[in-house]
């Protein structure tokens, strides 16, 4: 398992925007999507390609096109905030959904919805599980457990802010999964929020608090 931190000046700049407590819902949503788009560029760097014969206005030629079926699986709700940004970069991607919420007291994840495209089970599928926050790691582990049970194989986990505790838990449960993130923050606080973090990502994306 690898932890790949996207070290990019624009990613850092936009992360600062979403960490600021006074950032509006609209700007928060926009910046989350923009970071996800920048991350998609890096995540897709090694996607498999195949040769195709095409015709330019000048001649026939053999060129490359994407050989993988890309499936984006946001963990609802907050994962939804990253989908458009990734689809802008990978427009052929299909989208599945897994609904998960953390019990505020126990911090245990509870699944309430799941729906995936059939392409997820193809041999050439690459599944991007996306959620801006990897805190205790409980939601990510449960989502990936579910996807593996259904037969998904080549899975990558993509988040914006990871806590060291969540990285450790995900690594222990799914050592085959690479984690892509924009930052690994300091720690979790006593109520399971990432420090310094950005607060409750779902609420900030959708204006629910
Ligand atoms: C948040 C976040 C992750 C989860 C991370 O979701 O979007 O899914 O917490 O925490 P964990 O690593 O400790 O499991 P939340 O449960 O707040 O639901 P929401 O996205 O609907 O707001
Ligand atoms: N979920 C969030 O939205 N934020 C955190 O800091 C931890 C979990």
Span 100-109, pLDDT tens digits: 998 989 999 9
Ligand 1 pocket check: which of 25, 97, 201, 207 to mutate, most ligand atoms within 8 Å of Cβ?
201
| 75/128 Cα distance (integer angstroms) | 11
| 200/209 Cα distance (integer angstroms) | 9
Residue 199, Ramachandran bin (φ over 0: left; ψ between -120 and 50: alpha; else beta): left
Under a CB-based contact definition with an 8 Å cutoff, are residues 185 and 195 in contact? yes
Q: What is the mean pLDDT of the chain?
A: 97
Return the percentage of the chain with pLDDT > 70, whole number.
100
Distance, CA 12 to ligand 2 centroid (Å)?
Answer: 19
* Residue 209, pLDDT above cutoff 90: no
Closest atom of ligand 2 to 78 CA is: 3
Ligand 2 pocket check: which of 169, 201, 207 to mutate, most ligand atoms within 8 Å of Cβ?
201
| 164/135 Cα distance (integer angstroms) | 8
Token pair in block for residue 148:
């593996």
Report DSSP state, residue 136. S
pTM of the model: 0.96
Closest atom of ligand 1 to 75 CA is: 8
| 137/162 Cα distance (integer angstroms) | 9
Return the percentage of the chain with pLDDT > 90, whole number.
98
- What's the maximum distance between 2 C-alpha atoms anywhere in the chain? 65
Closest Cα to residue 42, out of 171, 184, 182, 161? 182
pLDDT digits (tens, 9 = 90+) for 48-100: 999 999 999 999 999 999 999 999 999 999 999 999 999 999 999 999 999 99
| 155/158 Cα distance (integer angstroms) | 10
3-state helix, strand, coil in the chain (%, to 5): 35, 30, 35
Q: Which ligand is nearest to the CA of 102?
A: 1
Ligand 1 pocket check: which of 133, 160, 200, 209 to mutate, most ligand atoms within 8 Å of Cβ?
133
Ligand 2 cavity residues, CB under 6 Å: 78, 133, 135, 193-194, 197, 200-202
């Amino acid at each position: 398992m690898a932890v790949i931190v996207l070290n990019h000046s624009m990613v850092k700049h936009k992360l600062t925007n979403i960490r600021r407590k006074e950032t509006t819902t609209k700007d928060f949503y926009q910046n989350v999507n923009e970071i996800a788009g920048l991350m998609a560029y890096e995540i897709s760097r090694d996607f498999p390609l195949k040769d195709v014969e095409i015709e330019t206005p000048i001649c026939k030629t053999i060129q490359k096109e994407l050989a993988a079926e890309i499936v984006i699986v946001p963990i609802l709700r907050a994962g939804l905030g990253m989908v458009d940004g990734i689809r802008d970069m990978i427009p052929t991607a299909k989208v599945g959904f897994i609904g998960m919420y953390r019990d505020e007291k126990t911090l245990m994840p509870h699944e309430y919805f799941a729906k995936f495209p059939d392409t997820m089970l193809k041999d050439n599928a690459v599944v991007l599980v996306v959620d801006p926050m990897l805190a205790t790691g409980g939601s990510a582990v449960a989502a990936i457990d579910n996807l593996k049970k259904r037969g998904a194989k080549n899975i990558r986990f993509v988040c914006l802010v990871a806590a060291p505790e969540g990285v450790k838990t995900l690594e222990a449960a799914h050592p085959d999964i690479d984690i892509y993130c924009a930052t690994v923050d300091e720690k979790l606080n006593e109520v399971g929020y990432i420090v310094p973090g950005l607060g409750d990502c779902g609420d900030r994306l959708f204006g629910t608090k």
